[in-house]
Amino acid sequence: MSRHYLTTAIPYVNSKPHLGFAMELVQTDVMARHWRHRGHEVRFLTGTDDNSLKNAIAAEAEGVPTKDFVDRNAAAFEALREPLQISFDDFIRTSADPRHRAGVDRLWRAADAQGDLYRKDFQGLYCVGCEQFYTEAELADGNCPEHFTPPAQVSEENWFFKLSRYEDKLRELIESGTLRIEPESRRNEVLGFINTGLQDFSISRSTERARGWGIEVPGDPGQVVYVWWDALGNYITALDYGTNGENYRHWWAESDERTHVIGKGIIRFHAVYWPAMLLSAGQPLPTTIFVHDYLTVEGRKLGKSLGNAIDPVAIVNDFGADALRWWLVRDVPRVGDADYTTERLLGRYHEDLANGLGNLVNRTVSMVHKYRGGTVPPLTALPEIPLTDVISAAPKAVDAALARFDLRTATAAVWKIVEEANRYVVEVQPWTLAREEKAGDAESGQRLSDALALLIHAARVVAEELTPFLPAAAARVAAQLGDGGDRLGAPEPLFPRIEVSS
């Protein structure tokens, strides 16, 4: 048994959650549930990034105190747990959790003790949406490449971190695979960035420009810690790094896998800045960074600032968690953006869940009731046919796909069982065997029992492997199949059709 620590990025709370973050939550939840399901020890962390300037600006625009604004919106992120069926073990808020401030303070002092922090006057182009400085060359027609707005010219004296000191070490760690970045295209992107030459970066802001919101720089009350230095630390501050607690030893220092799941827009911070910060502090690095692409609407990235955010809770209220989770894991590719529409969501739900799995389970359970009085025949042997091949191959295929963070391939391995089982029903024609048995053909009766036993076995394997992806639905399927026993309840619709009013 291995030990896995998984984290999402922590989103800004300048607005309510949108579907893009829901995707990251669900994908990380699948990984956490999968490893738990395989018997491994797992801790899953998520939370909110409360201390950013954009949060303070949004609160100011609304005319409410920043703390009240942040508390309200952070609660909406934490409340995603139930509607999205998320199994996180811990939720950290960077403005309110006492673990965080202590950890940020310790991380800062450790880098300072290493001689990696210094003050200097600085001016640059700053995007509040990204909370990031850009060079002229990085802009798109003078605008931020993420938010399509012009950055502000900022000039002040800040603290800086000697990122340049860690250029060679970071390159070595990534090229050797010690720090694994998936997919490979993102690994190459990070190496390309490093090979252009790493520049020291600003890690504080004046308290005045931060509107008095944020964590004070240790020993320098006129400055607050730059939100990315602050936010990146959450992965270890939530483990009581600030007090060198037992959770830090157990889940970070001695964990087998330390995995961050992030979006492509923040790869520089996680794959360059964060490992360098940990090297400076003398702490272990993450083992893996999984990078996903974006959800889009009509080809444009979902975003609060872009005005096209979609409320995931509203989707669940309208169509159910099964439909949303299934589209996010079944249709969203490992590489490339995915365009969301209600039609795609419902199309996938009806094709796979209602017509595919729902039909398989309903007719199998109905036939067991009709032909065997609701008692599952014993499975005496697995015949050498395509259905048994895909059943036996599925668990290893799921493991291999999720090791690459390829949820689409993992779900496809499970769905091969559903497709092959439905083909098997058509091929073996249990209703014909039942007629022949009734006419006195004992061999047909045995073939019918064997077929029904195999179909129940196939559907149970689907429920087992489906658990990380659709936990509530998998439990309903398992219950319909007698929860592993030999008696089945009456068949009931598992995935009712969803009609959309015009």
In tens, the pLDDT along 294-321 reads 999 877 776 655 566 799 999 999 999 9
From 25-39, 188-202, 364-378, 488-502, the region with the lowest mean pLDDT: 488-502
Better pLDDT: 187 or 144: 187
The alpha-carbon radius of gyration of the chain (Å, integer) is: 26
**pLDDT(137) > 80:** no
Give the separation between CA 363 and CA 359, rounded to whole angstroms. 6
**DSSP reduced 3-state for 302:** coil
> 279 vs 227, which has greater pLDDT?
279
Which residue bears the tokens 């990025």?
9
- With a cut of 80, say whether residue 122 has pLDDT above it: no
Q: Which of 26-40, 145-159, 335-349, 409-423 bottoms out in mean pLDDT, i.e. has the lowest?
A: 145-159
pLDDT band, very low/low/confident/very high, at 144 (cuts 50, 70, 90):
low
Residues of the chain above pLDDT 90, percent: 84
30 Cβ contact partners less than 8 Å away, ≥ 6 residues apart: 329, 402, 407, 468, 469
The confidence score (pLDDT) of residue 83 equals 98
Looking at residue 102, what is its pLDDT? 97
- The rounded Cα 35 to chain-centroid distance in angstroms is 14
Q: What tokens does 400 get? A: 């291999």
Cis peptide before 183 (omega within 30 of 0): yes
Token representation of residue 398: 């799921």
Spatial strand order of the sheet with 338-339 comes to 300-301, 295-297, 338-339
pLDDT at site 141: 66
Amino acid at 165: R
DSSP string, 177-239: TSSEEESHHHHHHHHHHHHT----EE-EEETTTTTT-SPEETTEEEEEE-HHHHHHTHHHHTT
Q: Taking each helix axis from N to C terminus, what angle separates 407-428 and 359-372, rounded to the nearest 10 degrees?
A: 40
pLDDT at 334 over 90: yes
pLDDT (tens digit, 9 = 90+) per residue, 54-113?
A: 888 999 999 999 999 999 999 999 999 999 999 999 999 999 999 999 999 999 999 999
Q: Mind listing the pLDDT tens digit for each residue in 3-12?
A: 999 999 999 9
